Homo-oligomer: A and B are copies of this chain.
Amino acid sequence: MPREPVAGVQEPGSGVLEDATIAALGEHALIARIRRQLPPAPDWLIVDVGDDAAVYEPVRNRLEVITTDAVVDGVHVDRRFVPFEAIGHRAVAVNLSDLAAMGATPRLLTLSLALPDDLSVSEFDRLVDGAVALAQRAGARLVGGNITRSRGPLMVDVTAVGSVHRRRILRRSGARAGDYIFVSGLLGDARAGLALLSDPAGVDAERWPDVVARYLLPEPRLRLGQLLGRSRAATSALDLSDGLADGLARLTTDHGLGCEIDASALPISEGARAVWHSRGADAVAEAVAGGDDYELAFTVRPKEARRLNAVARAVDGLRLTRIGVVTRTPGCWLVDAERHRTPIGHGYEHFRR
Protein backbone atom coordinates (compact mmCIF):
# COMPACT_ATOMS: atom_id res chain seq x y z
CA MET A 1 0.00 0.00 0.00
CA PRO A 2 2.07 2.95 -1.19
CA ARG A 3 1.47 6.25 0.52
CA GLU A 4 1.11 9.68 -0.88
CA PRO A 5 2.53 12.30 1.41
CA VAL A 6 -0.16 14.78 2.40
CA ALA A 7 0.50 18.07 4.15
CA GLY A 8 -0.74 18.03 7.73
CA VAL A 9 -1.05 14.26 8.05
CA GLN A 10 -2.77 13.35 11.28
CA GLU A 11 -2.28 10.09 13.05
CA PRO A 12 -5.34 7.92 13.66
CA GLY A 13 -7.08 8.58 16.93
CA SER A 14 -5.75 12.10 17.25
CA GLY A 15 -9.22 13.61 17.36
CA VAL A 16 -9.80 14.38 13.69
CA LEU A 17 -13.31 15.65 13.05
CA GLU A 18 -15.52 13.35 11.01
CA ASP A 19 -16.43 16.14 8.62
CA ALA A 20 -12.80 16.83 7.73
CA THR A 21 -11.92 15.85 4.18
CA ILE A 22 -9.82 12.77 3.55
CA ALA A 23 -7.12 14.96 2.00
CA ALA A 24 -6.38 16.29 5.49
CA LEU A 25 -5.94 12.77 6.84
CA GLY A 26 -3.64 10.89 4.47
CA GLU A 27 -3.58 7.27 3.41
CA HIS A 28 -2.06 5.78 6.58
CA ALA A 29 -4.76 7.26 8.78
CA LEU A 30 -7.45 6.08 6.35
CA ILE A 31 -6.05 2.56 6.34
CA ALA A 32 -6.02 2.62 10.15
CA ARG A 33 -9.71 3.57 10.07
CA ILE A 34 -10.41 0.52 7.89
CA ARG A 35 -8.31 -1.82 10.03
CA ARG A 36 -10.13 -0.98 13.21
CA GLN A 37 -13.35 -2.17 11.55
CA LEU A 38 -11.95 -5.62 10.82
CA PRO A 39 -12.47 -8.68 12.98
CA PRO A 40 -9.40 -10.57 14.29
CA ALA A 41 -7.46 -12.33 11.54
CA PRO A 42 -8.68 -15.87 10.86
CA ASP A 43 -6.24 -18.79 11.22
CA TRP A 44 -5.69 -19.05 7.48
CA LEU A 45 -4.55 -15.42 7.17
CA ILE A 46 -0.79 -15.63 7.72
CA VAL A 47 0.14 -12.01 6.90
CA ASP A 48 -2.60 -9.40 7.40
CA VAL A 49 -3.08 -5.85 6.06
CA GLY A 50 0.05 -3.73 6.55
CA ASP A 51 2.79 -5.60 4.69
CA ASP A 52 3.63 -5.46 0.96
CA ALA A 53 0.97 -8.09 0.37
CA ALA A 54 -1.32 -10.43 2.30
CA VAL A 55 -0.45 -14.12 2.67
CA TYR A 56 -3.10 -16.78 3.16
CA GLU A 57 -3.28 -20.54 3.35
CA PRO A 58 -5.98 -21.98 1.09
CA VAL A 59 -4.74 -25.49 1.90
CA ARG A 60 -2.54 -26.54 4.81
CA ASN A 61 1.12 -25.73 4.17
CA ARG A 62 0.40 -24.10 0.85
CA LEU A 63 0.46 -20.33 0.88
CA GLU A 64 -0.81 -17.78 -1.58
CA VAL A 65 0.07 -14.11 -1.67
CA ILE A 66 -2.27 -11.37 -2.91
CA THR A 67 -1.73 -7.66 -3.50
CA THR A 68 -3.54 -4.87 -5.31
CA ASP A 69 -2.28 -1.54 -6.58
CA ALA A 70 -3.46 1.14 -8.99
CA VAL A 71 -1.83 3.47 -11.50
CA VAL A 72 -3.82 6.66 -12.04
CA ASP A 73 -3.15 9.21 -14.77
CA GLY A 74 -2.37 12.55 -13.16
CA VAL A 75 -1.44 10.95 -9.83
CA HIS A 76 1.10 8.17 -10.51
CA VAL A 77 1.85 8.82 -14.17
CA ASP A 78 1.13 11.49 -16.73
CA ARG A 79 0.01 10.27 -20.14
CA ARG A 80 1.29 13.50 -21.69
CA PHE A 81 4.83 12.17 -21.37
CA VAL A 82 4.51 8.50 -20.35
CA PRO A 83 3.91 6.14 -23.31
CA PHE A 84 0.91 3.83 -22.97
CA GLU A 85 3.12 0.72 -23.01
CA ALA A 86 4.90 2.14 -19.97
CA ILE A 87 1.59 2.78 -18.16
CA GLY A 88 0.58 -0.86 -18.69
CA HIS A 89 4.06 -2.04 -17.71
CA ARG A 90 4.00 0.04 -14.54
CA ALA A 91 0.58 -1.18 -13.40
CA VAL A 92 1.84 -4.78 -13.54
CA ALA A 93 5.34 -3.95 -12.25
CA VAL A 94 4.19 -2.25 -9.05
CA ASN A 95 2.15 -5.32 -8.13
CA LEU A 96 4.84 -7.84 -9.06
CA SER A 97 7.24 -5.73 -7.00
CA ASP A 98 4.99 -6.29 -3.97
CA LEU A 99 5.09 -10.05 -4.63
CA ALA A 100 8.90 -9.83 -4.99
CA ALA A 101 9.08 -8.08 -1.62
CA MET A 102 7.29 -11.08 -0.04
CA GLY A 103 9.59 -13.63 -1.72
CA ALA A 104 6.67 -14.92 -3.80
CA THR A 105 6.51 -16.44 -7.27
CA PRO A 106 3.86 -14.73 -9.44
CA ARG A 107 0.96 -16.85 -10.62
CA LEU A 108 -1.85 -14.67 -11.97
CA LEU A 109 -3.17 -11.15 -12.41
CA THR A 110 -6.50 -9.42 -12.79
CA LEU A 111 -6.75 -6.11 -14.61
CA SER A 112 -9.41 -3.50 -13.93
CA LEU A 113 -9.47 -0.57 -16.35
CA ALA A 114 -11.35 2.73 -16.10
CA LEU A 115 -11.01 4.32 -19.52
CA PRO A 116 -11.85 7.84 -20.65
CA ASP A 117 -13.94 7.94 -23.83
CA ASP A 118 -11.28 9.82 -25.79
CA LEU A 119 -8.73 6.99 -25.44
CA SER A 120 -7.92 5.61 -28.88
CA VAL A 121 -7.96 1.91 -29.67
CA SER A 122 -4.25 1.96 -30.46
CA GLU A 123 -3.56 3.60 -27.08
CA PHE A 124 -5.64 0.88 -25.44
CA ASP A 125 -3.74 -1.81 -27.33
CA ARG A 126 -0.38 -0.37 -26.34
CA LEU A 127 -1.40 -0.19 -22.69
CA VAL A 128 -2.46 -3.85 -22.80
CA ASP A 129 0.74 -4.78 -24.67
CA GLY A 130 2.86 -3.26 -21.94
CA ALA A 131 0.93 -5.04 -19.20
CA VAL A 132 0.79 -8.46 -20.88
CA ALA A 133 4.42 -8.40 -22.02
CA LEU A 134 5.75 -7.91 -18.49
CA ALA A 135 3.25 -10.40 -17.03
CA GLN A 136 4.34 -13.09 -19.50
CA ARG A 137 8.01 -12.45 -18.91
CA ALA A 138 7.39 -12.80 -15.16
CA GLY A 139 5.33 -15.98 -15.60
CA ALA A 140 2.05 -14.41 -14.44
CA ARG A 141 -1.15 -15.16 -16.38
CA LEU A 142 -3.84 -12.54 -16.86
CA VAL A 143 -7.00 -14.44 -15.83
CA GLY A 144 -9.71 -11.81 -15.67
CA GLY A 145 -10.65 -8.23 -15.26
CA ASN A 146 -13.09 -5.48 -15.74
CA ILE A 147 -13.45 -2.54 -18.09
CA THR A 148 -15.50 0.52 -17.27
CA ARG A 149 -15.75 4.00 -18.67
CA SER A 150 -14.16 6.79 -16.71
CA ARG A 151 -15.53 10.32 -16.77
CA GLY A 152 -12.29 11.27 -15.11
CA PRO A 153 -8.73 10.03 -15.57
CA LEU A 154 -7.44 6.75 -16.96
CA MET A 155 -7.04 4.25 -14.09
CA VAL A 156 -5.38 0.86 -14.23
CA ASP A 157 -5.96 -1.35 -11.20
CA VAL A 158 -4.14 -4.67 -10.97
CA THR A 159 -4.44 -7.47 -8.43
CA ALA A 160 -1.65 -10.05 -8.40
CA VAL A 161 -1.57 -13.49 -6.78
CA GLY A 162 1.57 -15.54 -6.21
CA SER A 163 2.83 -18.49 -4.20
CA VAL A 164 5.33 -18.74 -1.39
CA HIS A 165 6.43 -21.42 1.06
CA ARG A 166 5.63 -20.73 4.68
CA ARG A 167 9.23 -20.49 5.86
CA ARG A 168 10.27 -18.34 2.93
CA ILE A 169 8.00 -15.34 3.45
CA LEU A 170 9.84 -12.00 3.55
CA ARG A 171 8.07 -9.72 6.01
CA ARG A 172 8.58 -6.08 6.85
CA SER A 173 9.08 -6.98 10.50
CA GLY A 174 12.03 -9.10 11.62
CA ALA A 175 15.04 -6.76 11.60
CA ARG A 176 17.16 -6.63 14.76
CA ALA A 177 19.70 -4.08 16.00
CA GLY A 178 23.04 -4.78 14.35
CA ASP A 179 21.55 -6.13 11.09
CA TYR A 180 23.07 -4.71 7.93
CA ILE A 181 20.76 -2.82 5.57
CA PHE A 182 21.02 -3.56 1.86
CA VAL A 183 19.34 -2.23 -1.27
CA SER A 184 19.26 -3.65 -4.78
CA GLY A 185 20.05 -1.67 -7.92
CA LEU A 186 20.27 2.11 -7.99
CA LEU A 187 18.41 4.73 -5.94
CA GLY A 188 16.92 7.94 -7.27
CA ASP A 189 17.18 7.23 -10.99
CA ALA A 190 13.40 6.98 -11.30
CA ARG A 191 12.94 10.33 -9.59
CA ALA A 192 15.57 11.89 -11.83
CA GLY A 193 13.94 10.38 -14.92
CA LEU A 194 10.57 11.78 -13.88
CA ALA A 195 12.14 15.21 -13.33
CA LEU A 196 13.56 15.08 -16.87
CA LEU A 197 10.31 13.93 -18.48
CA SER A 198 8.09 16.40 -16.65
CA ASP A 199 10.33 19.38 -17.42
CA PRO A 200 8.39 21.69 -19.77
CA ALA A 201 11.59 22.37 -21.76
CA GLY A 202 12.06 18.61 -22.05
CA VAL A 203 15.32 18.66 -23.98
CA ASP A 204 17.38 16.93 -21.29
CA ALA A 205 15.41 13.67 -21.46
CA GLU A 206 17.36 12.74 -24.60
CA ARG A 207 20.71 13.31 -22.86
CA TRP A 208 20.06 10.67 -20.19
CA PRO A 209 17.99 7.90 -21.79
CA ASP A 210 19.05 5.30 -19.18
CA VAL A 211 17.77 7.48 -16.34
CA VAL A 212 14.48 8.06 -18.16
CA ALA A 213 14.09 4.33 -18.84
CA ARG A 214 14.56 3.58 -15.15
CA TYR A 215 11.50 5.74 -14.44
CA LEU A 216 9.41 4.45 -17.34
CA LEU A 217 10.07 0.72 -17.05
CA PRO A 218 10.67 -0.33 -13.43
CA GLU A 219 11.81 -3.93 -13.13
CA PRO A 220 10.27 -5.94 -10.29
CA ARG A 221 13.05 -7.78 -8.43
CA LEU A 222 11.30 -11.13 -8.41
CA ARG A 223 14.35 -13.37 -8.60
CA LEU A 224 16.08 -11.48 -5.81
CA GLY A 225 12.99 -11.72 -3.58
CA GLN A 226 12.65 -15.45 -4.19
CA LEU A 227 16.35 -16.08 -3.53
CA LEU A 228 16.31 -13.99 -0.34
CA GLY A 229 13.32 -15.98 0.90
CA ARG A 230 14.74 -19.34 -0.14
CA SER A 231 18.20 -18.74 1.34
CA ARG A 232 16.73 -17.18 4.50
CA ALA A 233 19.48 -14.59 4.20
CA ALA A 234 17.17 -11.64 4.97
CA THR A 235 15.50 -10.87 8.30
CA SER A 236 13.08 -8.36 6.69
CA ALA A 237 12.39 -6.85 3.29
CA LEU A 238 10.14 -4.48 1.35
CA ASP A 239 10.06 -2.72 -1.98
CA LEU A 240 10.98 0.94 -2.26
CA SER A 241 7.88 2.11 -4.09
CA ASP A 242 7.65 5.13 -1.79
CA GLY A 243 11.36 5.86 -1.54
CA LEU A 244 14.21 4.88 0.76
CA ALA A 245 13.24 7.21 3.63
CA ASP A 246 9.79 5.68 3.81
CA GLY A 247 11.13 2.14 3.42
CA LEU A 248 13.65 2.55 6.25
CA ALA A 249 10.87 3.75 8.56
CA ARG A 250 8.77 0.68 7.71
CA LEU A 251 11.67 -1.71 8.45
CA THR A 252 13.02 0.00 11.59
CA THR A 253 11.15 2.82 13.36
CA ASP A 254 7.79 1.04 12.91
CA HIS A 255 9.26 -1.67 15.16
CA GLY A 256 10.93 0.61 17.75
CA LEU A 257 14.33 0.45 16.03
CA GLY A 258 16.45 2.99 14.19
CA CYS A 259 19.12 3.08 11.51
CA GLU A 260 22.30 4.76 10.38
CA ILE A 261 22.78 5.13 6.63
CA ASP A 262 26.18 5.84 5.10
CA ALA A 263 25.55 8.68 2.60
CA SER A 264 28.69 7.81 0.63
CA ALA A 265 27.54 4.21 0.17
CA LEU A 266 24.23 4.99 -1.54
CA PRO A 267 24.17 3.50 -5.05
CA ILE A 268 23.50 6.56 -7.22
CA SER A 269 24.17 6.37 -10.94
CA GLU A 270 26.47 8.79 -12.74
CA GLY A 271 23.48 9.79 -14.83
CA ALA A 272 21.35 10.70 -11.83
CA ARG A 273 24.24 12.64 -10.28
CA ALA A 274 24.60 14.61 -13.52
CA VAL A 275 20.87 15.30 -13.71
CA TRP A 276 20.71 16.63 -10.15
CA HIS A 277 23.96 18.58 -10.61
CA SER A 278 22.52 20.28 -13.70
CA ARG A 279 19.56 21.39 -11.58
CA GLY A 280 21.51 22.48 -8.52
CA ALA A 281 19.95 19.71 -6.41
CA ASP A 282 21.61 17.33 -3.92
CA ALA A 283 21.86 13.84 -5.42
CA VAL A 284 21.98 12.13 -2.00
CA ALA A 285 18.89 13.93 -0.69
CA GLU A 286 17.03 13.09 -3.90
CA ALA A 287 18.07 9.43 -3.72
CA VAL A 288 16.89 9.14 -0.11
CA ALA A 289 13.57 10.87 -0.83
CA GLY A 290 12.82 9.55 -4.31
CA GLY A 291 10.15 6.93 -4.88
CA ASP A 292 9.30 4.80 -7.90
CA ASP A 293 12.59 2.87 -7.93
CA TYR A 294 10.91 -0.46 -7.05
CA GLU A 295 14.18 -1.81 -5.71
CA LEU A 296 14.17 -4.08 -2.65
CA ALA A 297 15.54 -2.97 0.72
CA PHE A 298 16.32 -5.76 3.15
CA THR A 299 18.15 -6.49 6.38
CA VAL A 300 20.72 -9.23 6.93
CA ARG A 301 22.25 -10.53 10.15
CA PRO A 302 26.03 -9.99 9.92
CA LYS A 303 26.76 -13.70 10.51
CA GLU A 304 24.50 -14.58 7.56
CA ALA A 305 26.47 -12.41 5.15
CA ARG A 306 27.84 -15.56 3.52
CA ARG A 307 24.34 -16.64 2.51
CA LEU A 308 23.92 -13.27 0.86
CA ASN A 309 27.04 -13.86 -1.22
CA ALA A 310 25.37 -16.88 -2.79
CA VAL A 311 22.29 -14.79 -3.52
CA ALA A 312 24.41 -12.02 -5.04
CA ARG A 313 26.08 -14.50 -7.41
CA ALA A 314 22.71 -15.92 -8.48
CA VAL A 315 21.06 -12.60 -9.41
CA ASP A 316 23.76 -12.02 -11.99
CA GLY A 317 24.25 -8.39 -12.76
CA LEU A 318 21.94 -6.91 -10.13
CA ARG A 319 23.93 -4.80 -7.73
CA LEU A 320 23.38 -5.34 -3.99
CA THR A 321 24.76 -2.56 -1.80
CA ARG A 322 25.20 -2.45 1.96
CA ILE A 323 24.09 1.07 2.88
CA GLY A 324 23.90 1.02 6.68
CA VAL A 325 22.97 -0.72 9.90
CA VAL A 326 19.92 -1.17 12.12
CA THR A 327 20.30 0.51 15.53
CA ARG A 328 18.65 -0.04 18.90
CA THR A 329 17.83 3.70 19.27
CA PRO A 330 14.68 4.72 17.36
CA GLY A 331 15.12 7.19 14.50
CA CYS A 332 17.02 7.01 11.23
CA TRP A 333 20.08 9.10 10.42
CA LEU A 334 22.09 9.82 7.33
CA VAL A 335 25.82 9.95 8.15
CA ASP A 336 28.19 11.70 5.74
CA ALA A 337 31.95 11.32 5.25
CA GLU A 338 32.64 13.90 8.00
CA ARG A 339 30.32 11.93 10.33
CA HIS A 340 27.70 14.69 10.26
CA ARG A 341 24.31 13.21 11.11
CA THR A 342 21.08 14.38 9.43
CA PRO A 343 17.70 12.95 10.49
CA ILE A 344 15.83 11.00 7.80
CA GLY A 345 12.09 11.71 7.83
CA HIS A 346 9.26 9.50 6.73
CA GLY A 347 8.97 10.75 3.17
CA TYR A 348 10.12 13.44 0.89
CA GLU A 349 7.68 15.99 2.26
CA HIS A 350 9.50 15.71 5.56
CA PHE A 351 13.02 15.10 4.40
CA ARG A 352 14.98 18.13 3.33
CA ARG A 353 18.71 18.50 3.89
Q: List the interface of chain A (C-beta within 8 A of B).
A: 1-2, 4, 16-23, 25, 27, 30-31, 33-34, 37-39, 41-42, 44-45, 48-49, 53-54, 56, 58-59, 62, 64, 66-70, 72, 74-76, 107-108, 110-112, 114-115, 117-122, 124-125, 128-129, 132, 136, 141-153, 155, 157, 159, 161, 163
Q: Are B144 and A67 in contact (CB under 8 A)?
A: yes
Which one of A2, A115, A132, A142 has the greatest number of beta carbons of chain B within 10 Å? A142
A44 (CB) vs chain B CBs: closest residue: B107
A296 to nearest B CB, angstroms? 19
Question: Are A1 and B121 in contact, with the CB atoms below 8 A?
Answer: no
Cβ–Cβ contact B143 & A18, under 8 A:
no
Contact A155 B42 (CB under 8 A): no
Give the docked Cα–Cα distance between A196 and B256 (Å): 55
The CA-CA distance from A316 to B289 in the complex, in Å, is: 59
Q: Which one of B34, B76, B112, B153 lies within 8 Å of A68 (CB-CB)? A: B112
Would you give the shortest CB distance from A95 to chain B, in whole angstroms? 10
Closest residue on chain B to residue A62 by CB atoms: B59
Copies assembled: 2
- Give Cα A146 to B114, complex, Å: 16
Q: Is the CB of B153 within 8 A of A20?
A: no
CA distance A128 to B18 in the complex (A): 14
Contacts of A49 in B (CB 8 A): 142-145
Q: Given known contacts A58-B58, A125-B33, A132-B37, is B1 in contact with A146 (CB within 8 Å)?
A: yes
Q: CB < 8 Å: which of B22, B108, B124 contacts A119?
A: B22
Chain B residues with Cβ below 8 Å from A132 are 34, 37-38
Closest A-B pairs by Cβ, 9 of them = A152-B152, A54-B143, A18-B122, A159-B159, A23-B117, A68-B110, A54-B144, A157-B157, A27-B147
Known A58-B64, A128-B33: A69·B146 in contact at CB below 8 Å: yes
A231 and B66 alpha carbons, distance in the complex (Å): 31
